[in-house]
Chain A
Amino acid sequence: MCKLDNIIDKCKKGDPKAAEELYHMFASQMFAICIRYSRDRTEAEDNLQDGFLKVFESISQYSGRGSFEGWMKRIFIHITFEKYRKNNMLQVVEEVPETTMADIEENIYIPEEVLFGFIEELPEKYRQVFSLYVIDEMQHKEIAALVGISEGTSKSNLARAREILKRKIKDYLKYEQ
Chain B
Amino acid sequence: MNVLIRNLRAGPDGIVEAHDAAAVADVVTLGSAADRTIQLLGREVAARHAEIDASGATLKIRCRRGRRIRVNGRDGASVPLAVGDRIELGGHRLRIIAPPGGFDVAIEVQLSTTIETSEFERAFRTDLDQTWLSKRGASWLLATMTLLVTLGVPLAMVFLHREGTATPAGLPDDRLWSPGPLIPAHQHVIADRAIPGHKDAAGKACNACHERLFVHIQDPACKQCHNNVLDHVDRRELELTRLDGPPRCAQCHLDHDGGASLMAVRDDSLCVACHRDQHSRFGSLAVAAVAGFADGGAHPDFSVTLLKPPAAAPATTGGTAEQCAESDAELRSSLASWVPSREPVKTAHEQSNLKFSHAQHLDPAQVTAALGCADCHSAEPDGEHFVPVTMARSCATGGCHQLTFDSRAPALPHGKPCEAMFVIEDFYARAASGDPTLTPKHRELALRLPDRENPEEPVVAPCTGPAYVCAGRRAAAEIEHQFAPKGSGCVSCHVVNDSGAGDIHNRFAVMPVRLTYDYFPATHFRHKDHLVQKDLTGDAACLSCHRAKTSQQSSDLMIPNIGKCLECHSDRPALDKVTLQCVSCHAYHPMSIMRLSRGAQQQ
**A and B: partners?**
no
